[in-house]
Chains A and B, each alone.
Chain A
Amino acid sequence: MSDFWWQVIDSVQSVLDGMMFGSIYALIGIGFTLIFGVMHRINLAYAAASIGGAYASLAAFQLLSAPAIVVFLCAAAASGVIGYLVYICCFRFIPTEMPLATLMASVGMLILIDEVVVHATAGMPEPYPAMFDDVMIDLDPFWVRGDLLMIFALSVIAMLILLYVLYRTRLGIATRAVAQQPSAAQLCGIGQERTNAATFVITGALGGLAGAMVGASVGILSPLLALPLTVKGLIVTVIGGLGSIPGAIVAGILVGGFENVFQYFRGVTERDIYVMLLLFVFLTFRPQGLFGRISTRD
Chain B
Amino acid sequence: MDFYYGMAQLIGVHTLLGLSAYVVLLTGQVSMAQAGFFAIGAYLAGMLTVLAGWHIVPAMLLAAVASALVATVVGFPALRVKGLMLVVATLAFGEAVRIFWFNFDYQIAKGNIQVGPLGGEGFKQIRYFPENGWSTADVAVFIWAWVIAAMIALWWMDRSRVGSVLRAVGEDELAAQSVGINLTAVKVSAMGIGGFIAGLGGAIYAHYTTHIEHLNFGVVLATFAIAYPILGGLSSVIGVLIAVIFIQGFLVEVLRFMGDWRNLLFGALIVLAMNVRPDGLFDARATRTLKRLFGRQDA
Contacts and interface: CB of A to CB of B under 8 A. Distances in A.
Interface of A: 36, 42, 89-90, 93-95, 98, 100-105, 107-116, 118-119, 227, 230-231, 234-235, 237-238, 242, 269-270, 272-273, 276-277, 279-280, 283-284, 287, 296-298
Contacts of B220: 227
Given A94-B278, A111-B266, A89 B120 contact: no
Interface in B266-285: 266-271, 273-275, 278-279
Nearest to B98: A272
A197 B235 CA distance: 32
Contacts of A227: 218-220
Nearest to A297: B83
B180 to A, nearest CB: 22
19 contacts: A42-B87, A89-B275, A94-B278, A104-B231, A105-B270, A105-B275, A107-B270, A110-B267, A112-B266, A116-B264, A118-B263, A269-B120, A276-B92, A280-B89, A283-B77, A284-B80, A287-B81, A296-B82, A296-B83
Contacts of A283: 77-78, 80-81, 85, 89
A105 B271 contact: yes
Main secondary structure of the interface of A (DSSP, over half): helix
Given A101-B279, A235-B88, A298-B82, 5 more contacts: A237-B84, A237-B88, A272-B96, A273-B99, A287-B85
A127 to B, nearest CB: 23
Nearest to B87: A42
A288 B150 CA distance: 37
Interface in B76-109: 77-78, 80-85, 87-89, 91-93, 95-96, 99-100, 102-103
Contacts of A104: 226-227, 230-231, 270, 274
Contacts of B77: 280, 283-284
A93 B278 CA distance: 10
Given A231-B95, A270-B99, A42 B271 contact: no
Sorted from nearest, which 9 A-B pairs have the closest CB atoms?
A108-B270, A112-B267, A111-B267, A101-B278, A105-B274, A108-B271, A298-B83, A276-B96, A115-B263
Contacts of A102: 274
Given A234-B91, A276-B95, A284-B77, A94 B84 contact: no
Contacts of A112: 264, 266-268, 271
A270 B268 CA distance: 35
